[in-house]
Amino acid sequence: MTSAHHLPPITGVRPTVLLVEDEPDTLQLIAEALTAGGFAVAQAATGADAIERLRGFAYELLVIDLRLPDLDGMDVLNEALTLYPHIRAVVITGFGGVAEAVQAIRRGAIDFLVKPFELGKLTRVLGAALEQRRLPVESVAVQAPLNERFCFDNIIGVSAPIQKVFSMLRIVAPISSTVLIQGETGTGKELIARTIHACGPRRDQPFVAFNASAIPEALAEAELFGHVKGAFTGAVNARVGRFELANHGTLFIDEVGEMPMPLQAKLLRALQGGAIERVGDSRSLKLDIRVIAASNVDLRAQVKEGRFREDLFYRLNVIPITLPPLRARRDDMPLLAQHFVRKACIANRLPQRTIGQKAMQILMSCAWPGNVRQFANAIEHAVAVGGNATEITAEMLPTDLGEPQQLGLLPEVAIPDEGLNFASVVSQLERDLILRCLEKTGGNKRQAARLLQLSRTTLIDKLQRLNTAVA
């Protein structure tokens, strides 16, 4: 509580806004209007400046032009929303920037205005956003700890299913419970396993991977548990196994479903006892290991078919994480595409480039049986083929992407075993529909409303409400 000798806060009770705009006259004009409208305005003319200010202060509102001289405005927006999930962000954009603005709304911005706009409109939008915010003051303090905030950065995704994965990661990273990650090939199982390790207390200890399908059955046991000299023909020297190498750290058992039955029994014994025996040695070795297992085949089904031990399944399935296939989270594709384009350009020392609309449409309509890995490869291909092109066009994509899928009325919704939140899925659908209409009409809200047979105010109201619900 403020006591008498405390200086009054400089901003008084004025709501705080960070205004990010590179064009000095516009910056000045908007800043004046907002100040007159009762806001406490901080200004940034570059992305770097904006990020520095964001790191230093929890603004309630963000007004941002996405085209900045130094950084991608979307990255600044991302940073803002990662640091302060409750910040209300409004995008201002030039005539050509509507597609990006819609992207920004996908990411969590609440509205956008196309320049030139009436300044009073911005104050009204911000005022309404504040009303909606209704954020209990305490929740500011409940923000994620610093190291965790930056930890999941390499996992790209904003869709509801991937957000669920993020919440699981927050729970499991700090503890040592066994995790079982299931998902189709290329969905990011290894990435998630490494992230859990890297974000938890064992991060300075080894992360050791063991792939049950990559090693001939006869050698697998020695590989996993080690062996003494002369334990079997060819065991000329003693060898330390993966278990021992992982001591105090994490052992990642990949493709655990491929493990032969006899080895499954030995793995179960090691997990239950917290100890191993090297092949050829009867002494047992106590170990402190966190186990993360992964499988791209459904282990429960394997159990039913008698190909996987039920007791081992339960021993591994302490905390299940199921990664959705890419086709069930098309919302993530634009961000993933951008991410992989950037990566491929950097890796090949090529100039950065954008993705053309047609190319993006194709990317978003493919089935992607190889999931994120296949998606990344397709983009890498397109970047390489494009040479110094400034935009990725449809012709640059690989030709073997398969027939685009008929999306049907509704996008495929993954239904996890534990069920899903009906209201939140429906909100997501509503929001997607509105965003698609906005894209179709080049950002014209009146036309988009007409397409949906809604009034313009209902559409805007819905969009803002849905953003709050989905965030």
Ligand X SMILES: Nc1ncnc2c1ncn2[C@@H]1O[C@H](COP(=O)(O)OP(=O)(O)OP(=O)(O)O)[C@@H](O)[C@H]1O
In the list 99, 119, 128, 155, the residue contacting ligand X (rule: CB under 6 A) is: 155
185 binds ligand X (CB under 6 A): yes
CB of 259 to Mg ion, least distance (A): 15
Nearer to ligand X, 31 or 212 (CB): 212
**Largest distance between two CA atoms of the chain:** 85
Nearer to ligand X, 100 or 255 (CB): 255
Nearer to ligand X, 73 or 183 (CB): 183
CB of 411 to ligand X, least distance (A): 18
Contact partner, 430, from Mg ion, ligand X, none, Cβ < 5-8 Å per class: none
Nearer to ligand X, 185 or 405 (CB): 185
370 binds Mg ion (CB under 5 A): no
Residues 84, 50: contact at Cβ < 8 Å?
A: no
Q: Which residue is nearest to Mg ion (CB)?
A: 190
Phi, psi of 141 (to 5 degrees): -75, -20
Nearer to Mg ion, 255 or 332 (CB): 255
188 binds ligand X (CB under 6 A): yes
Alpha-carbon dihedral sign for residues 193, 196, 199, 203:
negative
Phi-psi region of 54 (alpha: psi -120 to 50; beta: other; left: phi over 0): alpha
CB of 192 to Mg ion, least distance (A): 10
Residue in the structure block whose two tokens are 């965790």: 148
Contact partner, 187, from Mg ion, ligand X, none, Cβ < 5-8 Å per class: ligand X
Nearest to 81 by CA among 65, 101, 105: 105
Residues 157-216 that bind Mg ion (CB under 5 A): 190
427 binds ligand X (CB under 6 A): no
Size, binding site for ligand X by CB under 6 A: 15
The interface mask with ligand X, positions 108-127, x = CB under 6 A, is --------------------
CB of 238 to Mg ion, least distance (A): 30
Quote the CA–CA distance of 322 and 303 in Å, as a whole number: 17
DSSP 3-state helix, strand, coil percentages of the chain (rounded to 5)?
Answer: 50, 15, 35
72 binds Mg ion (CB under 5 A): no
Residues 126, 63: contact at Cβ < 8 Å?
A: yes
Phi, psi of 318 (to 5 degrees): -65, -55
Nearest to 19 by CA among 52, 49, 41: 41
48 binds ligand X (CB under 6 A): no
Own/partner long-range contacts of 24-32 (Cβ < 8 Å, ≥24 apart): 26/65, 26/115, 29/119, 30/63, 30/92, 30/119, 30/122
93 binds ligand X (CB under 6 A): no
157 binds ligand X (CB under 6 A): yes
Amino acid at 227: H
187 binds ligand X (CB under 6 A): yes
Contact partner, 438, from ligand X, Mg ion, none, Cβ < 5-8 Å per class: none
Contact partner, 185, from Mg ion, ligand X, none, Cβ < 5-8 Å per class: ligand X
Size, binding site for Mg ion by CB under 5 A: 1
The interface mask with Mg ion, positions 21-50, x = CB under 5 A, is ------------------------------
CB of 161 to ligand X, least distance (A): 11
Residue 140 is given by DSSP the state G
Phi, psi of 63 (to 5 degrees): -120, 120
330 binds ligand X (CB under 6 A): no
CA dihedral 385→390→392→393, nearest 10 degrees, is -100
Quote the CA–CA distance of 48 and 54 in Å, as a whole number: 10
Residues 339-398 that bind ligand X (CB under 6 A): 372-373, 376
Residues 198-257 that bind ligand X (CB under 6 A): none
- For residue 452, what are its two tokens? 């949906």
Phi, psi of 322 (to 5 degrees): -110, 120
Residues 416, 401: contact at Cβ < 8 Å?
A: no
Q: Which residues bind Mg ion (CB under 5 A)?
A: 190
Q: Which residues bind ligand X (CB under 6 A)?
A: 155-157, 183, 185-191, 296, 372-373, 376
